[in-house]
């Protein structure tokens, strides 16, 4: 009997680390769902700085890079194969979740505990871009103990994590002040945040907006943004950085790493489904143009999220 040949799937991957052009469209044998896993036909994949760093030659702790290496950690799609031992999900179910270094592809295999159901009302692009930034923002606000009556300063507030962080802060009863370029100030106001121009004089501008002080800060830029946070926030354990890890010990601030779970993601999905959370999609690219998607992200000033559509 002849073995049936699997139809190749397309994926964006790199053989040699480099710039965005290192990403190439290739054909690979599709994965199979192992025990406890689902195979998902991908509808959208979020584009993250993490993806760009891996493509550029960074190996994340605990990961092994195998060439050709697919990138992408967040996805939405439809279950098309269910592995042994998986209960509660079936072929045809629409889901979203996270799967490390495998999402810029037409299909992926993922542990069932890393997905949640996608609400019918949630667009595929939003679902594909939600997990990483939203879970990072949610984790950050928990670690910084942001709550009722606090004033939170969010750097890069119009970006993927910042957009979610200012909204979650408002839902917790906090005041959110967000740094952004002038073109994004109306956008931040629409999310319930008070915008402030970044750059020279930031400390004085924030103090004018928050005469009673700033209780916590979330840094998504590093460098001068983190320096300003240290001046503005008295308790350095309520300052978190997403990027400037080399200075964490020196300054006594927190390094924020996303603590992902299906329960955390389900809570965030519910906020969106009930109209309490907005996710901005700046642009979407076909899988063949994944290099352009990363190029846009690395150029900076993306409002919200960029996604790849297989």
The pair of structure tokens assigned to 31 is 């994965």
Residue 9, C-beta contacts closer than 8 angstroms, at least 6 positions apart? 27, 28, 29, 30, 105, 106, 107
Q: CATH 3.90.180.10 occupies which residues in the chain?
A: 9-118+280-309
Residue 186, C-beta contacts closer than 8 angstroms, at least 6 positions apart? none
How many angstroms separate the CA atoms of 39 and 37, rounded? 7
Identify the CATH number of the domain defined by range 133-255. 3.40.50.720
Q: Which band of pLDDT confidence, cut at 50, 70 and 90, is reported for residue 36? A: very high
User: Is the model's pLDDT at 200 over the cut of 60?
Assistant: yes
C-alpha torsion angle, residues 58, 64, 65, 69 (rounded to 10): -120
As a whole number, mean pLDDT of residues 31-39 equals: 98
User: Is the model's pLDDT at 301 over the cut of 90?
Assistant: no
The pair of structure tokens assigned to 38 is 């689902």
User: Is the model's pLDDT at 4 over the cut of 70?
Assistant: no
Q: CATH 3.40.50.720 occupies which residues in the chain?
A: 133-255
Reported as a single tens digit per residue, the pLDDT across 42-82 is 999 999 999 999 999 999 989 999 999 999 999 999 999 99
Q: Which CATH architecture has domain 9-118+280-309?
A: Alpha-Beta Complex (3.90)
Residue 204, C-beta contacts closer than 8 angstroms, at least 6 positions apart? none
Partners of 94 in the beta sheet? Answer: 78
How many angstroms separate the CA atoms of 204 and 84, rounded? 59
Dump strand ranges (E) for the chain. 9-14, 24-28, 37-46, 69-70, 74-82, 94-98, 107-111, 115-117, 151-154, 175-180, 194-197, 216-219, 239-241, 254-255, 281-286, 305-309
Residue 299, C-beta contacts closer than 8 angstroms, at least 6 positions apart? none
How many angstroms separate the CA atoms of 218 and 238, rounded? 8
The pLDDT value recorded for residue 288 is 98
């Amino acid at each position: 009997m002849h073995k049936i040949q699997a139809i190749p799937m397309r994926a964006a991957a790199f053989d040699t680390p480099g710039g965005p052009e290192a990403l190439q469209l290739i054909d690979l044998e599709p994965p199979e769902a192992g025990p406890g896993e689902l195979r998902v036909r991908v509808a959208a994949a979020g584009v993250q700085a993490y993806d760009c760093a891996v493509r550029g030659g960074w190996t994340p702790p605990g990961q092994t890079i195998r060439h050709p290496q697919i990138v992408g950690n967040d996805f939405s799609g439809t279950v098309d194969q269910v592995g042994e031992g998986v209960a509660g999900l079936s072929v045809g179910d629409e889901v979203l979740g996270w799967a490390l270094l495998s999402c810029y592809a037409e299909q992926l295999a993922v542990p069932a505990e890393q997905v949640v159901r996608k609400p019918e009302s949630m667009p595929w692009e939003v679902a594909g871009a939600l997990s990483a930034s939203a879970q990072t923002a949610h984790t950050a606000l928990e670690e910084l103990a942001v709550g009722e009556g606090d004033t939170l300063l969010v750097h890069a507030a119009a970006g993927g994590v910042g957009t979610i962080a200012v909204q979650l802060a408002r839902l917790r009863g906090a005041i959110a002040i967000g740094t952004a370029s002038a073109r994004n100030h109306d956008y931040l106001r629409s999310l319930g945040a008070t915008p402030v121009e970044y750059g020279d004089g930031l400390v004085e501008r924030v103090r004018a907006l928050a005469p009673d002080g700033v209780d916590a800060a979330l840094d998504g830029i590093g460098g001068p943004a983190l320096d300003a946070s240290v001046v503005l926030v008295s308790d350095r354990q309520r300052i978190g950085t997403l990027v400037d890890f080399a200075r964490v010990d020196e300054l006594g601030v927190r390094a924020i790493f996303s603590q992902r779970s299906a329960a955390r993601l389900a809570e965030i999905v519910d906020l969106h489904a009930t109209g309490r959370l907005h996710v901005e999609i700046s642009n979407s690219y076909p899988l063949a143009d994944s290099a352009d998607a990363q190029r846009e992200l690395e150029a900076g000033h993306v409002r919200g999220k960029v996604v790849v559509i297989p």
